[in-house]
Amino acid sequence: MAYAGTKVGLKDLYYALLTTDASDGTVYETPVKITGAIVANINPNSTSGTLFADDGPLESTSQLGQIEIQLDIADIPLALQGILLGSDVVALGTLFKKATDVPPWLAIGFKSLKSNGSYRYVWLVKGKFREIEDNSETKDDSINWQTGTIMGQFVKRDYDEVWKVMADEDETSYVNVGDTWFTTGPDLP
């Protein structure tokens, strides 16, 4: 297998609200772009185990556990926080966060430039974000960017047990999805 290049970039971060995940299919709202993507760190936790018998290993298996994502974004405006966390944005640019807020199910998509000039496209198909850690610090002699970070947990869809969809432009079987990846959302064929 030929070397396909290493990821060297991140851009075009999107979210799509998940409105239906049932035995007959999924429905997502139109994807919406999030400006200022810095980091998309996906950590699919898994558990493995080995069965020992007859004085040695006999069987081994693993299973997918919680899927965590960390997004670092140049800024997470109040309106976006309201959408991602299920909070109310009202007049005058004010965000009201309540103890009863319920984050919506959604998908997160992005693309990563690879060192060979092609892109890897990604959708995490079902997850929720948790409250944002908010740190501020005073100015000093150097510039200290204070960007936004949001963490979430993702799971497999009920419909088909898919948790992640990916496409690489440099795969020989690649069908051009670049023009529609972020308009159709994570329900690709």
Question: Mind listing the pLDDT tens digit for each residue in 95-142?
Answer: 899 999 999 999 999 999 999 999 999 999 999 999 888 888 888 898
Contact 60, 49 (CB under 8 A): yes
Question: What's the predicted TM-score (pTM) here?
Answer: 0.87
Rounding to the nearest 10 degrees, give the CA dihedral for residues 113, 118, 119, 120.
-110
Dist CA 28 CA 6 (whole Å): 31
The pLDDT tens digits of the residues spanning 3-22 come to 667 888 999 999 999 999 99
